[in-house]
Chains A and B, each alone.
Chain A
Amino acid sequence: MGGSILGNRVLRKEDPKFLTTGGVYVDDLLDEPALLGALHVTYVRSTVAHGNITAIDTSDAASMPGIVAVITGKDLGLEFVPSAYNPAATRTLLATDKVRFVGEPIVAIVSNTREEGEDAIDAVIIDYDVLPALIDLEEAMASSTLLYEACGSNVVFDSMVLGLPDNTGDAYFADCEVVVKGRYLNQRVAPCPLEVRGAAAAWGTDGRLTQWLSTQHAQGAVAPLAAANGVDPSMVHVKTPDVGGGFGAKIGAYPEELLLGVIAKRVGTAVRWRETRSESMVGLGHGRAQLQYVTIGGKRDGTVTHYQLWAIQDSGSWVDMGTILAPFMTRPMSSGVYAIPNIECRTTSVVTNTTPTVAYRGAGRPEATAAIERAMDMFALEIGMDAVEVRRKNLIPKFMTPHTTVVGQTYDVGDYETSLNKVLDAADYKGWRAKQKAARDSRAAKQIGIGVSVYVEITGGVGNGESAKVEVLDNGHALIYTGTSPHGQGHATSWAMLANEQTGIPIENIELVWGDTDLVPIGTGTMGSRSLQQGGNAVFAVAAELVNKAKSVAARLLEASEEDIVLDKDSASFHVAGTPAVAKTWADLAMAEKQSGGLVHSDVINVSGATFPFGAHVAVVEVDVETGKVTHIAHTACDDAGKVLNPMLLEGQIHGGVAQGVAQALLEEVCYDPDGNPITSNLADYAFISAAELPSVTVVHMETPTPINLIGAKGIGESGTIGSTPAVQSAVIDAVSQFGVKHIDMPTTAEKVWAAIQSAR
């Protein structure tokens, strides 16, 4: 009778709503009673990258039509708040003394309509004493012009501060037959969720603040909101509407969001805020922005013995999560899938007069993978060995018990060579090499390039577990309360599948509650690909425990002993073994428990550690040699994230991850002019990748279950990005290596490729 639902391509129960009436995002909350009559907040932002504010004149703006208030940081008496990662760096949520990036909020306009707020922006006059803008990372590192004087330097974090040693330089490679050096730019990119930031705030008559927030982590916003508003955390209620993408950039709450309650209190009404895309391009955190000095050494036979990485991380103008990704994510994953016996990695984080950097899909691990994969390719080129064979020679052999690398990271299970073999086979690697040879021999106008990456990454590194509550209602339907925070990942379907697996309650009768801190006070949100392995795991465990509770209730009602009670999942009912005709449904049991707290179980389920998905990608590109233009013509991905709950959702995550990874390799980059003015601050200038630039992705399934959690699952959300970027960059360089090109930084635009060919020839 009816097999397990797990592992099936279950269609999403969320979809009918999204497809017919649309999601309800924060800016769609038109009928929310607490927000009726809400005023609009518009922020006036710095047009200068680095400067002291000498005057702010709000009088003209304040007298414009529909303007209720024009508020400065001094008006609010804002105090300096230290960064969690370097307390010497402090700021006020609205800039008061100094501005440190173009886009930094300085003034809040409160207006009746959004239009009136936008009309008043230019009427706010701000005078600056302009300071030199530090945009170039290495210049900022060495400069005596400091963003935060109290830090003493623009270096705001370094792995040496954690007690880790410095790299030993070239002497490290003294015994190597072959030594290759590289300087790689892992460029700044913009996360660009389709929904920009938005929030709303209203104070209740009970003195509590309700804040609607487009976020990946409602529970994490409570403490900062409480601090910004000067109230106890118990007085803050965060609600998460549908969220139109986050990708890491909506994990933490931003100054614009934290101040809404303060503004609402000052003007005496609820307020709404929604940025424009142009604001989002400078105000939402950026990703990557890491400069890498790499040295790799080994033997002519292809054995890599030494690898050294210095990762210089651009923090942007604040010391936010982006600052610490290099030491805590890049460094631990710096060895990748290779059994390199000697590895050194130092990370240095530097502030610059640019948008602060934050986590962005992969958050430190794409950088680690890109560095080692590029280095392996350069090593292979130097010794004249096929890049795949060099990898094979150095892979950590298959392991089903924990493996600790020389940088001190312990991986759970891994089978890198099998993923490499599977992807090469599925991609017809040999066939493409033959096509490449034919194109080279005939000096074709379009040359073929093939790139291969093998990667491992860390997921579930955030949080130790997750909360879950499963409650069955009088009608036999169920509610799941989860601490995760879906924004496209399909948790309503996935967690319903898990609960259905345990309880037999049909998926269509199971609803998900998330992102409301009154209903789900404990939660670590959705980030770092943790949700299934921690959040789903908790749902699975808690649902199982609920079944046990239900059995004891059934036993009571059926006057039998608990051990004799059978749950028939197909009929979602309980009976005594041997007498299936006398059954109690979930509804029956729920009603029986009504007076004593209901049929519900709640717990926080911990896991023993992070997990390490892995895989291999093959990318094929065509390069028009005369112009340098790159076309991505094929992509094959083998990603092993352990046990697969819903292959359809898994593939969707891989597709989406690949697109963002390809985008970084080929197209996207956030650019500033030397004065710190952003020049890619809208979607016409920023090369957000479209369907026309991408091929379909061939996904090769592979499942090596992890023992870390009940489900055996790792996280898949970021693997596609981590594996694809180096494969595509490698493919482009491979296409033109015949001309002597050894390296091209990302994004490999047509002009860069053309210029590389010219200078190599």
Chain B
Amino acid sequence: MIPAPFDYKRASSAAEAISLVSEYGEDAKFLAGGHSLLPLMKLRLAQPAVLIDIARIKDLSYIRDAGNHIAIGAMTRHMDVEKSPILAEHAPLLSFAASHVGDPQVRHRGTIGGSIAHADSASDLPATTLALGATYVVQGPNGTREIAAADFYVGFLESALAPDEMLTEIRVPKMNGATWGFQKFNRRAQDWAIVGVAAWKRGTESGVGLVNMGSVPVLATSVAKAIAGGASIGDAAKLAGAEAEPQSDLNASAQYRVHLAEVLVRRALESTSN
């Protein structure tokens, strides 16, 4: 339960963080809240030689109304996302989803940037920001670029971040009065979702993200397409599994996961949350 030994560096700016990670390459991992990385290191499933602590970089924790989107600094903690009045008004699906991450102690430390960069399909915020059509701002040695959430998750725990890039901001489009629902189906309250759904709807526009329905967070495009084509919520929800490749594991079979996704997508689009 004790991590393997590692060297520890602190970055005081994004530029310094990038310069450090360029120097150490694959041996280094960024440390933000540490609540995705440290549990893996304690079980020795991850053994980076160098940790670059980016949590003290000033001005990477913020939530700002930026006009047509809300800009969230990557170091913003889940608890702050949960409690944000700006997000409550403009992206309540996200703040509600954040309130379901882990438990209160986890939310006092874990960050939205850390969660997204970790790219776990079983985490709540990757799928939620994916459903909301978010853009992630990424900084590297050659400057910044924006990556659409739909292009960000490329494989199991694998994101489009280059080894020498750091996530700095998450841009979430304003929901503009869309109805929404968030369904996290688990065994116990503190557990990861067996299946999770983040969904919003505004007329015939919608976005549905699925948690733990494949090796990457899943955007249920067939559902959105059906809604756009005038299908009822009930009919559209039956397409929930179309883009998914769910696994069978300790907690559920793939077949049951598909069934759950259909039920939970319907409920989420009907604006029921649990």
- The answer to whether B252 and A276 touch across the interface, beta carbons within 8 angstroms, is no
- The answer to whether A627 and B263 touch across the interface, beta carbons within 8 angstroms, is yes
Question: Chain A: which residue is nearest B250 at the CB level?
Answer: A679
Q: How far is the CB of A728 from chain B (nearest CB, A)?
A: 15
For A685, what are the chain B residues with a Cβ–Cβ distance below 8 Å?
Answer: 250
Segment from B64-72, B107-115, B148-156, B181-189 that makes contact with A: B181-189
Segment from A187-195, A559-567, A568-576, A687-695 that makes contact with B: A687-695
For B259, what are the chain A residues with a Cβ–Cβ distance below 8 Å?
Answer: 754
Question: Chain A: which residue is nearest B187 at the CB level?
Answer: A687
Segment from A113-121, A250-258, A330-338 that makes contact with B: A113-121
For A687, what are the chain B residues with a Cβ–Cβ distance below 8 Å?
Answer: 187-188, 191
Question: Is the C-beta of A59 less than 8 angstroms from some C-beta in chain B?
Answer: no
Segment from B1-9, B164-172, B224-232 that makes contact with A: B1-9
Question: Is the C-beta of A554 less than 8 angstroms from some C-beta in chain B?
Answer: no
- The answer to whether A751 and B250 touch across the interface, beta carbons within 8 angstroms, is no
- The answer to whether B256 and A754 touch across the interface, beta carbons within 8 angstroms, is yes
Question: Is the C-beta of B190 less than 8 angstroms from some C-beta in chain A?
Answer: yes
- The answer to whether A119 and B4 touch across the interface, beta carbons within 8 angstroms, is yes
For A278, what are the chain B residues with a Cβ–Cβ distance below 8 Å?
Answer: 1, 43
- The answer to whether B260 and A627 touch across the interface, beta carbons within 8 angstroms, is yes
For A118, what are the chain B residues with a Cβ–Cβ distance below 8 Å?
Answer: 1-2
Within 8 A of B (CB), among A149-195: none
- The answer to whether A276 and B1 touch across the interface, beta carbons within 8 angstroms, is yes
How far apart are the CA atoms of A650 and B118 in the complex, in Å? 47
**CB < 8 Å: which of B2, B4, B252, B264 contacts A114?**
B2
- The answer to whether A680 and B250 touch across the interface, beta carbons within 8 angstroms, is yes
For A629, what are the chain B residues with a Cβ–Cβ distance below 8 Å?
Answer: 185
Question: Is the C-beta of A749 less than 8 angstroms from some C-beta in chain B?
Answer: yes
- The answer to whether A692 and B188 touch across the interface, beta carbons within 8 angstroms, is yes
How far apart are the CA atoms of A693 and B4 in the complex, in Å? 35
- The answer to whether B1 and A692 touch across the interface, beta carbons within 8 angstroms, is no
Q: How far is the CB of A105 from chain B (nearest CB, A)?
A: 17
How far apart are the CA atoms of A3 and B253 in the complex, in Å? 62
**CB < 8 Å: which of B1, B5, B189, B256 contacts A693?**
B189
Given contacts A115-B2, A276-B1, A277-B1, contact A627 B185 (CB under 8 A): yes
Q: How far is the CB of A629 from chain B (nearest CB, A)?
A: 7
- The answer to whether A751 and B188 touch across the interface, beta carbons within 8 angstroms, is no
Question: Chain A: which residue is nearest B256 at the CB level?
Answer: A751
For B5, what are the chain A residues with a Cβ–Cβ distance below 8 Å?
Answer: 119
Question: Is the C-beta of A667 less than 8 angstroms from some C-beta in chain B?
Answer: yes
Question: Is the C-beta of A479 less than 8 angstroms from some C-beta in chain B?
Answer: no
Give the size range of B's interface with the partner.
20 to 34
- The answer to whether B188 and A693 touch across the interface, beta carbons within 8 angstroms, is yes
Interface of A is mostly: loop
How far apart are the CA atoms of A684 and B185 in the complex, in Å? 16
Question: Chain A: which residue is nearest B183 at the CB level?
Answer: A627
Question: Chain A: which residue is nearest B39 at the CB level?
Answer: A684
- Scoring B4, B187, B264 by chain A CB atoms within 10 A of each residue's CB, the highest score goes to B187
Within 8 A of A (CB), among B182-210: 185, 187-191, 194
Within 8 A of B (CB), among A658-690: 667, 671, 679-680, 682, 684-685, 687-690
Question: Chain A: which residue is nearest B267 at the CB level?
Answer: A626
For B187, what are the chain A residues with a Cβ–Cβ distance below 8 Å?
Answer: 667, 687, 749-750
How far apart are the CA atoms of A627 and B256 in the complex, in Å? 9
For A688, what are the chain B residues with a Cβ–Cβ distance below 8 Å?
Answer: 188
Q: How far is the CB of A687 from chain B (nearest CB, A)?
A: 5
How far apart are the CA atoms of A152 and B268 in the complex, in Å? 59
For B189, what are the chain A residues with a Cβ–Cβ distance below 8 Å?
Answer: 690, 692-693
How far apart are the CA atoms of A667 and B250 in the complex, in Å? 12
For A692, what are the chain B residues with a Cβ–Cβ distance below 8 Å?
Answer: 188-190
**CB < 8 Å: which of A276, A277, A671 contacts B250?**
A671
Given contacts A679-B250, A751-B256, contact A626 B1 (CB under 8 A): no
Within 8 A of A (CB), among B20-38: none
**CB < 8 Å: which of B4, B43, B185, B188 contacts A667?**
B188
Question: Chain B: which residue is nearest A669 at the CB level?
Answer: B250
Within 8 A of A (CB), among B129-179: none
How far apart are the CA atoms of A680 and B2 in the complex, in Å? 20
- The answer to whether B2 and A751 touch across the interface, beta carbons within 8 angstroms, is no
**CB < 8 Å: which of A119, A277, A626, A667 contacts B263?**
A626
Question: Chain B: which residue is nearest A751 at the CB level?
Answer: B256
For B191, what are the chain A residues with a Cβ–Cβ distance below 8 Å?
Answer: 684, 687
Q: How far is the CB of A455 from chain B (nearest CB, A)?
A: 27
How far apart are the CA atoms of A114 and B259 in the complex, in Å? 47
Q: How far is the CB of A323 from chain B (nearest CB, A)?
A: 28
Q: How far is the CB of A576 from chain B (nearest CB, A)?
A: 64
Within 8 A of A (CB), among B217-253: 250, 252-253
How far apart are the CA atoms of A277 and B191 in the complex, in Å? 18
Given contacts A629-B185, A667-B187, A690-B188, contact A751 B252 (CB under 8 A): yes
- The answer to whether A689 and B263 touch across the interface, beta carbons within 8 angstroms, is no
Q: How far is the CB of A437 from chain B (nearest CB, A)?
A: 25
For A277, what are the chain B residues with a Cβ–Cβ distance below 8 Å?
Answer: 1
Question: Chain B: which residue is nearest A118 at the CB level?
Answer: B2
How far apart are the CA atoms of A356 and B4 in the complex, in Å? 31
Question: Chain B: which residue is nearest A624 at the CB level?
Answer: B263
- Scoring B188, B189, B190 by chain A CB atoms within 10 A of each residue's CB, the highest score goes to B188
Question: Chain A: which residue is nearest B195 at the CB level?
Answer: A627
Given contacts A119-B4, A276-B1, A692-B190, contact A751 B185 (CB under 8 A): no
How far apart are the CA atoms of A679 and B251 in the complex, in Å? 11
How far apart are the CA atoms of A751 and B252 in the complex, in Å? 7
- Besides A627-B264, A629-B185, 9 new A-B residue pairs in contact (Cβ under 8 A), listed by A number: A277-B1, A627-B260, A680-B250, A682-B43, A684-B191, A690-B188, A692-B188, A692-B189, A751-B252
Q: Which 5 A-B pairs have the closest CB atoms?
A: A692-B189, A276-B1, A751-B256, A115-B2, A626-B263
- B residues apposed to A, CB below 8 Å: 1-2, 4-5, 43, 185, 187-191, 194, 250, 252-253, 256, 259-260, 263-264
Q: List 9 A-B contacts (CB under 8 A).
A: A627-B264, A667-B187, A679-B250, A687-B188, A690-B190, A749-B187, A750-B185, A751-B253, A751-B256
- A residues apposed to B, CB below 8 Å: 114-115, 118-119, 276-278, 626-627, 629, 667, 671, 679-680, 682, 684-685, 687-690, 692-693, 749-751, 754-755
